[in-house]
Amino acid sequence: MTMNEAVLVERARAGDAKAFVILCARYEAHIYGFAYQMLDSADEAARLTQETFLRAWRALGQAGAEPNVSVWLHRIAATACLNILRRRRRMRWLPWTRSRCTHPADRSVDDTGVAPLDGEAGRTMQRTLARMRPRHRLALLLREYAGLSCADVGAVLGISPDATKATLFRAREEFRHHSLRETGGRREAMVRRADPSDAR
């Protein structure tokens, strides 16, 4: 967390709503994109983004001395997303491409604010992700779409560094297994089999 961000957090804790609004503006589009990838619904993603920041505001006094804001907000959003998906009793996922999951406030995209990856590759990835275990999907999405470090993925999931590395390895292997089934054995490079940066 940058010093400027630390100052904003402290001001927000002291009741400075303007400081919290600045923090929200920094992460709003990213949390929205993450929620959209999880929920496949622009309306639900928008509502969940608002809910995430509302919960964050209420929980400010409970946060640690120097919270990692990105991890903190992704943890809140991930929990809310999984609760919605459990209520649906199904999991639907879209291919991860950060530039294609844009918050509606970005007027450079169409009226929907979202342009999912098109084509057979996108449909194949969506079917592949739908076959995966929910926890593996979540870990892979946090790493590949949200761009969190291995350590931050572990912080969101609430597991140790070694467990995080093992989870990401299994997630990539599961993705690869289902991908090969979906593509008839063709080795399409949708996700790295191993990521050396997971060791950090």
Residue 19's CATH number: 1.10.1740.10
- For 6-15, 35-44, 55-64, 72-81, which range has the lowest pLDDT when averaged over its residues? 55-64
Per-residue buried b or exposed e for 125-160, using 16+ beta carbons within 10 Å of the residue's own CB? bbebbebbeeebbbbbbbbbbbebbbebbbbbbebe
Q: Which of residues 86 and 113 earns the better pLDDT score?
A: 86
Q: For residues 109 and 151, state if they share a domain.
A: no
Same domain, 137 and 81: no
DSSP state of 99: G
Specify the pLDDT at position 2: 55
Which of 7 and 197 is assigned the larger pLDDT?
7
Domain end position, chosen among 116, 149, 182: 116
Show Cβ contacts of residue 37 under 8 Å, excluding neighbours closer than 6 positions: 93, 94, 96, 101, 141, 145
Both 71 and 112 in a single domain? Answer: yes
Residue 142 in contact with residue 78, Cβ under 8 Å? Answer: yes
- Res. 16: pLDDT tops 60: yes
Over the stretch 53-71, which tens digit does the pLDDT of each residue have?
999 988 887 755 546 888 9
Q: Is residue 114 classed as helix, strand or coil in its secondary structure?
A: strand
59 and 105 in a common domain: yes
* Dist CA 131 CA 3 (whole Å): 42
Q: What is the pTM of this model?
A: 0.70
Q: In 40-111, which ranges are continuous DSSP H helix?
A: 42-59, 69-88
* Together in a domain, 57 and 26: yes
Structural domain including 164 reads: 118-200
**14 and 46 together in one domain:** yes
Tally of domains within the chain: 2
For a pLDDT cut of 70, what percent of the chain falls above it?
Answer: 71
Q: What is the pLDDT of residue 196?
A: 56
The last residue of a domain, from among 89, 116, 143:
116
CA pair distance 138, 153, nearest whole angstrom: 9
CATH of the domain at 130: 1.10.10.10
111 & 192 share domain: no
Find residue 114's DSSP bridge partners: 101
Domain stops at, among 71, 93, 116: 116
